[in-house]
Amino acid sequence: MPQPEDIHNQFHLLAAHRRTLVHYLKQEAMVGSAHTTPEISHGIYEARQAIRRIKLTLRAWQMTVEDLPDDEALVEPLLMPFVNQSSVPIYRFRAECEQDVDTLRTILGTRVMKIIKLNEAPFPDTIVEVHGNVSLAELQDAMRKIEDGHVMLQTVAQRENYTGERNYDLR
C-alpha cells in the first residue's frame, strides 16, 4: 500500500510533467508542426509517456486521476518521426487482462513506442502488439516480473512468427 507521501509525490510529478508538456506544445504551435524540431517532438513524446506512466501508477493505487485533453495525442503517431520504423521490433502476445499490459508498459517505460490491443471481447484473452526498442529476451524478462504474466510470457513472439500458442516450458 502506498504511503500518503508517495501519492502526493506522484501527483506533484504529474503536475510537473503536464507543465512541461504545455511548454513544448506552445513551442510546437509557434513554429508549426511541419517545422517542429526533433527536440520539441521528443519532448512532447517523453512528457506524454511520463504522464501515462504516472497515471497508471496512481490508478493502480486506486486513486482518481483526471484525464486532461493534452495528456494524449489526438492522433497517435505510428512511431516517432525521427525513428527508423523498419528497425523497430514488433512483438505479439496474448494477455489475460489490461492491467497486465499496463504493468508491462510501466516496466518497459520509454522503450515502448506503441501498444495496440488487436481484439477484445468475446475472447477471454486480448491479443497485444508492442512496438519498441526492446529485444525478445528483455520483453520476456519484463513479463516475468508481472505477477500474472505467464500467458504473455508463454505466447510472445515477433509479429511475423506469432501463432498464439502457449509454450508451457517458459516460466
Please tell me the predicted confidence (pLDDT) of residue 121.
45
Q: Which residues contact 110 (CB under 8 A, 6 or more apart)?
A: 46, 49
- The DSSP result for 39-108, as a single string, is HHHHHHHHHHHHHHHHHHHHHHTT------GGGS-SS--SS-TTS-GGGS-EEEEEES-HHHHHHHHHHH
Please tell me the predicted confidence (pLDDT) of residue 80.
46
Please tell me the predicted confidence (pLDDT) of residue 29.
85
Please tell me the predicted confidence (pLDDT) of residue 15.
96
pLDDT-derived band at 123 (thresholds 50, 70, 90) equals: low
Please tell me the predicted confidence (pLDDT) of residue 33.
67
Q: Is the pLDDT of residue 107 over 50?
A: yes
| Proportion of the chain above pLDDT 90, given as a percent | 45
Please tell me the predicted confidence (pLDDT) of residue 30.
84
Please tell me the predicted confidence (pLDDT) of residue 120.
54
Q: Is the pLDDT of residue 81 over 60?
A: no
Q: Is the pLDDT of residue 14 over 70?
A: yes
The arithmetic mean of pLDDT across residues 51-72, rounded, is 91
- Do 140 and 125 meet the contact criterion of CB atoms below 8 Å apart? no
**Predicted TM-score (pTM) of this structure:** 0.50
CA atoms within 13 A on the CB side of 14: 23
The arithmetic mean of pLDDT across residues 18-38, rounded, is 85
Q: Is the pLDDT of residue 118 over 80?
A: no
The arithmetic mean of pLDDT across residues 63-81, rounded, is 71
Please tell me the predicted confidence (pLDDT) of residue 79.
44
